[in-house]
Structure 1
Amino acid sequence: MPNLSGIVVADWVTMGARQHPGRPCIVMGDGSSRSYAEIEERITRLGSAMTAHGVTRGARIALLATDSAEYLETMFVCAKLGAAAIPLNYRQTVPELAVLLDAGRATWLFVTRRYLDMAVALRDRVSTLETIVLIDGEADGVLGYEALVAEGSPEPWRIAVDDEEILLIAFTSGTTGNPKGVMQSHRMYKRKSVAGAVEYRVRQGAFRYSAAPLHHVGGSGMVFQGLSRGASTLILPQFGPEDVVEWLGKGLNSVFLVPTMISRILALPGIRDARFPALESIVYGAAPMPPSLLAAAMEVFDCDFYNGFGAGTEAGMQAVLGPEEHRRALAGETHLLQSIGKPGVGVDLRLVDDDWQDVEPGETGEIASRSEHVMSGYLDQPERTAQVFHEGWFRGGDLAHFDAEGYLYFDGRKDDMILRGGENIYPIEIEDVLSSHPSVREVAVVGIPDEHWGQIVRACLVPGEGYDEDALRSYCRERLAGYKVPAEFRVHAELPRNPNGKILKRRLRQEVTS
């Protein structure tokens, strides 16, 4: 059924420009801001100019940059043009990014000067990539962002975009030849944004910040939640604990942080004596909150806490642990901090076995959910899509169990994905790189617990001739984003295997953590 309203998420900017034109939409780290009316005019001009340069409905527009107002404006323009944005992780290497741009068939790339050399190299490697736009200045051979805005017309324009058209393509892996491109529709983003605003009790006109980068669902998702309520959003290029504390003192009402970030803030000198009267809530995710850390954070920040859980890229928010449960935990029911909460607004959630049958209460099963904020599927991979959907239910490999009160407890992943500080790391990417080095005979990569990051990467390997750990680490750094490079290397005479020859990673995890 077509989207009869024709409303896209960027129309929340248009609505804001009508209802509160002078209210800041985006606040930058230097204290400057752009109002809803200013953002509306800029994206109108930018969209007009991009259309004149040949961008049409269905185009693929990639972004390689740290967070900025221009980054958000580009995402808004893509929504209004009916183009799909492809946010890229700026910590990945040129070979990794080339795989993703090839798979996404991107034609335009918006980039900051810091990554311009990478962008030029990518244009030489990716056949579909034709146009580079430099966000922060001018350079030969590329278009200038502000020049595009200036040349565009301020006359309003509108393209009717259907709910099921794709707004974002979010890639969840890089170095493998078969990356998963999660297709996120306008329907998905609208529904999950509104559900998040309801669940996190976002009020009209709030001032909010997310420490997750805009290329991550935790970053863009929080922005669009705020837009749906006419909120103002603080944009910092990257997270810095001192910067966040400074802005908390300037009136931030709500922030998203992962527990490791909260820990870094609490380690700042004098923080225990600070007071933040405007702060209403902290949303966290990606890792459990230790009881001692929560107690310290609640004492310092004196606000509500929310734990949001979900297969965010593919299925949005699935469960939430709210302020009431956090206060119960602080009062002595500390087991609640191990919970990921209860199903969120508009989410139907089950725990199933491999045959899609419900498991008994207390037993571990795979999380299966259905809602209006589930992805449309994996780009150009119908077989892979069919593996995770069944009669409208999505399951992405997360395991959990229910307690007697109906609270969910996360029991890990069916696959071997490593979650380091909010970043998803797929071991096969690292194993492929390590196994290509002549000094590595066999390798298996596992995640092990770490108090700061949640998990870190450890490579268990059987060495060959000429093995040198420092040289191998350098080899990885040339081919992998820094957060994927193993923090530790462990040498084995042989790797444990089952009778079929499969490496027993579960045994490796037990060995390395014992």
Structure 2
Amino acid sequence: MEYSLEDFENYTKNHLLCENSDRLPQLTEEIYLQITQSRQTSKVLLAERDPTKFLASFIAACAAGYPVFLCNPDWGQQEWQQVLSLVQPDIILASDLEKILFNSQNTPTTNYQLPITNPIMIPTGGSSGKIKFAIHTWETLTASVTGFRKYFQVQQVNSYCVLPLYHVSGLMQFMRSFTSGGKLVIQNFKQLEQEIYHINSVNFFISLVPTQLQQLLQARVSDRLAQFQTVLLGGAPAWNEILAEARSKNISLALTYGMTETASQIATLKPEDFLQGKHNCGKILPHAKVEICNAQNQIGNIKIQSASLALGYYPNIFTKAELTLDDLGYFDAQGYLNIIGRSSNKIISGGENIYPVEIEAAIHNTQLVKDICIIGIPDRHWGQAVTAIYVPKSTTSITTLQTTLKNKLSKFKIPKHWIPLTTLPRNSQGKINRQHLQQLATTLLQEKSL
């Protein structure tokens, strides 16, 4: 990494806007001196919620050349015990240090040494119950930035960040702006309706997940969203209802496909295509290559090669510089990537292959539910029974939902079981914890049959 502590400090003084950002250069120096007191290379665990403290800690660790593990400060006891057992950090940078240290008791001592210079470990997989750290470096992250700039044909990337910085979607907004000399605004999402920082939004990218977009549309701030150069939307599949509303408000949405392992997006639908009615993942960015694992090049698992690809999952290194995913997709005649779901989420009912994303979109479009998740429950007659777990609107009945879907879906795709809840378990990126819902639905349906 060719950047020095002074480079970081000059950037934050002239290009960063966030609460207490004026304190960041001094705070960075203090943390840098604190962590470099030890002569040996130390593993740094970073779990700061406050953006200023996070950036100061991240910059200090990178400038010192230490391996740094980004962590969610809101993890619970089970997650912290799992992470601390795996990482065995030498330095912990966190405001809620007592909570983390309490969970570090009785963890086995294992010390892994990576054959990589200055690794940056980014968490992934928390919603499935097992947290992993994708191993990145400054080079893999900047490769993603290079592809982004070429794809959007911009020299400087100005970012308006309302996502957590420990997550790849938040961290990459800092990386794009810093390495390109662009401006970076960091603001709490709940305050986005208020125009705290007076900037020219037309020159800024903003990244959202679908649930955030829905909240902003409901809060009637679509006029402000429409002012942004581009609204990057990713993290989870978006339903047609909010996409149609965003299109009607002339919001420059760019639907993205990517993941922690690829340092954010590798495919993006440009706003001009979105506004013309397209709703796929768009074209592949120049730093990546995507193949469909299927002899006929139809629907199949997605295989990725990219300069931004993680080197492995800590502490293991990938044996190949490629990654085959659980995601299923295909390229259409225009070369746009289309994602239809995950092979692990596929439901086989009565010999028919059923993909939840199609049913979820159809139910969302009825405007009769607030939230929806489709899963398959074991069934002695059908193999699996399509099951809808949903948050109903006040006047919605199951009969109404079933009747509305008759002309929208094939009969075998209409859910056989309907389970209403007051809320669905989603993480900060809007992804549903399907494992939890699978267990919940199985238990509820067993109790109902007794």
TM-score after normalising by structure 1: 0.62
Determine helix, strand or coil for the equivalent of 1:313.
helix
Distance 1:175 1:213 in 2: 16
Alignment correspondent of 1:311 = 259
2:217 equivalent to 1:294:
no
Distance in structure 2 (CA, Å) of the matches to 1:163 and 1:190:
20
Other-structure match for 1:33: 21
Assess if the C-alpha contact under 8 Å between 1:99 and 1:177 holds in 2.
no
Partner amino acid for 1:24? H
Q: 1:78 aligns with which of 61, 76, 85?
A: 61
- The CA deviation at 1:217 is 0.7
**1:395 equivalent in structure 2:** 324
- Following superposition, the deviation at residue 340 of structure 1 comes to 0.9
Structure 1 unmatched runs, 5+? 1-5, 130-161, 330-335, 354-358, 418-445, 463-472, 495-514
- Give the drift of 1:348: 1.7
Q: Where in structure 2 are the equivalents of 1:71-220 lying within 5 Å? A: 71-112=54-95, 115-126=96-107, 164-173=116-125, 179-202=131-154, 204=156, 206=158, 208-220=159-171
Alpha-carbon shift at residue 322 of structure 1 (Å)? 0.8
* CA distance 1:222–1:369, change in 2 (3 Å): same
| Cα distance in 2, alignment partners of residues 492 and 21 from structure 1 | 55
**Corresponding residue number in structure 2 for 1:368:** 303
Report the identity percentage: 17
1:461-481 deviation per Cα after TM superposition (whole angstroms, max 9, x unaligned): 99xxxxxxxxxx9xxx9xxxx
State the partner residue of 2:40: 56
Instruction: Describe the shift of the 1:256–1:244 C-alpha distance in structure 2 as closer, same or farther (beyond 3 A).
Output: farther
The answer on 1:340 being equivalent to 2:281 is yes
Amino acid at match of 2:28: I
Displacement after TM superposition at 1:67 (Å): 3.8
Query: Alpha-carbon deviation of 1:181?
Result: 2.7
* Aligned-pair Cα RMSD in Å: 3.8
State how far apart, in whole Å, the 2-side matches of 1:453 and 1:217 are.
Answer: 27
* Partner of residue 338, structure 2: 409
Give the AA of the match of 2:94.
Answer: V
Deviations along 1:41-99, one digit per CA (max 9) or x if unpaired, are 543442123111x2633x22112232411101111112111212211223321122111
Give the structure 2 partner of residue 379 of structure 1: 314
Match of 1:133 in 2: none
Pair 176,195 (structure 1): closer, same or farther in 2 beyond 3 Å: closer
CA 1:483–1:321 in 2, change beyond 3 Å: closer, same or farther? Answer: closer
Read off the aligned partner of 1:396 and give its amino acid letter: L
Which range moves more in the overlay, 224-233 or 398-407?
224-233
Deviation at 1:316, TM superposition (A): 4.1
Size of the aligned set, in residue pairs, is 373
- Three-state SS of the structure 2 residue aligned to 1:411 is strand
Distance in 2, matches of 1:125 and 1:403, equals 53
Contact 2:247 2:275 in 1 (8 A): no
**Aligned equivalents of 1:375 and 1:281: distance in 2?**
26
Inter-partner Cα distance in structure 2 for 1:105 and 1:125: 12
Are the counterparts in 1 of residues 256 and 269 from structure 2 also a CA contact under 8 Å? yes
Return closer, same or farther for 1:365/1:483 CA change in 2, 3 Å cut-off: closer
1:366-416 CA distances to partner (integer Å, 9 max, x unpaired)?
21121211111122345xx44xx3xx3322322111111111110222334
Match of 2:290 in 1: 349
Work out whether residues 95 and 175 of structure 1, in 8 Å CA contact, stay in contact via their aligned partners in 2: no
Quote the offset at 1:288 in angstroms: 3.6
Structure 2 unaligned runs (5+)? 347-355, 380-420, 426-430
CA contact (8 A) 2:122 2:260 kept: no
Would you say the 8 A contact 1:25–1:39 is kept in 2?
Answer: no
Whole-angstrom distance in 2 between the partners of 1:55 and 1:486: 48
Deviation for aligned residue 1:232: 2.7
CA pair 174-276 structure 1, distance change in 2 beyond 3 A: closer
Q: Once the 2 structures are TM-superposed, how far is the Cα of residue 22 of structure 1 from its aligned partner? A: 4.8
Letter in 2 for 1:184: H
1:215 aligned partner, one-letter code: Y
The offset of 1:117, in angstroms, is 3.8
Equivalent residue for 1:503? none
Q: CA deviation at 1:344?
A: 0.7
Q: How far 1:225 sits from its partner (Å)?
A: 0.8
> Does the CA-based 8 Å contact 1:210-1:218 persist in structure 2?
no
